[in-house]
């Protein structure tokens, strides 16, 4: 079966750095997305990785290792507004998008 694993919940301190991991077992791979979802709101796009390596976008970076079936989202200089759920999603060889359950990130002052 197809599976995406993310930690259910993480806690971090304002101003710190946090890394949210995502491991996947899918039938093939055609890209990996990270979305952010604030409570009561819709998911919004953060990043897309299709090749191995690190993609940096401001305070957020996303890393991919296709051989390991692994990605992480790195958030630097955490702000209170970063409190949200972070969803990992993988496009498989049939171009189906498989969604993870999401990681709820709690930022404490």
Partner 1 sequence: DAGVIQSPRHEVTEMGQEVTLRCKPISGHNSLFWYRQTMMRGLELLIYFNNNVPIDDSGMPEDRFSAKMPNASFSTLKIQPSEPRDSAVYFCASSLGQGHTDTQYFGPGTRLTVL
Q: Which is nearer to partner 1, 12 or 32 (CB)?
A: 32
Query: Torsion over CA of 17, 84, 100 and 69, rounded to 10 degrees?
Result: -10
CB of 18 to partner 1, least distance (A): 21
CB of 106 to partner 1, least distance (A): 16
Please choose, from the candidates 7, 13, 32, 2, the residue with its C-alpha nearest in 3D space to the C-alpha of residue 76.
13
101 belongs to the binding site for partner 1 (CB under 8 A): yes
Q: Which of 49, 62, 88, 100 binds partner 1 (CB under 8 A)?
A: 100
Token pair belonging to 101? 């359950």
- Asked whether the beta carbons of 63 and 50 are under 8 A apart, the reply is no
What is the chain's length? 109
- Within 15-74, the residues that bind partner 1 by CB under 8 A are 30-31, 33, 41-45, 48, 50
Q: Which is nearer to partner 1, 17 or 101 (CB)?
A: 101
Q: How far is CA 38 from the centre of its chain?
A: 14
Query: Residues interacting with partner 1, by CB under 8 A?
Result: 30-31, 33, 41-45, 48, 50, 87, 91, 95-97, 99-102
């Amino acid at each position: 079966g197809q599976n995406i694993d993310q930690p259910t919940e993480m806690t971090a301190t304002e101003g710190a750095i946090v890394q949210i991991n995502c491991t996947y077992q899918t039938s093939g791979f055609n890209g990996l997305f990270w979305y952010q979802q604030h409570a009561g709101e819709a998911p919004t796009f953060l990043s897309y990785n299709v090749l191995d390596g690190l993609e940096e976008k401001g305070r957020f970076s996303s890393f991919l290792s296709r051989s390991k079936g692994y990605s992480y989202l790195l958030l630097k200089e955490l702000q209170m507004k970063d409190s949200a759920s972070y969803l990992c999603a993988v496009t498989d060889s049939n171009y189906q998008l498989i969604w993870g359950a999401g990681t709820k990130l709690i930022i404490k002052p």
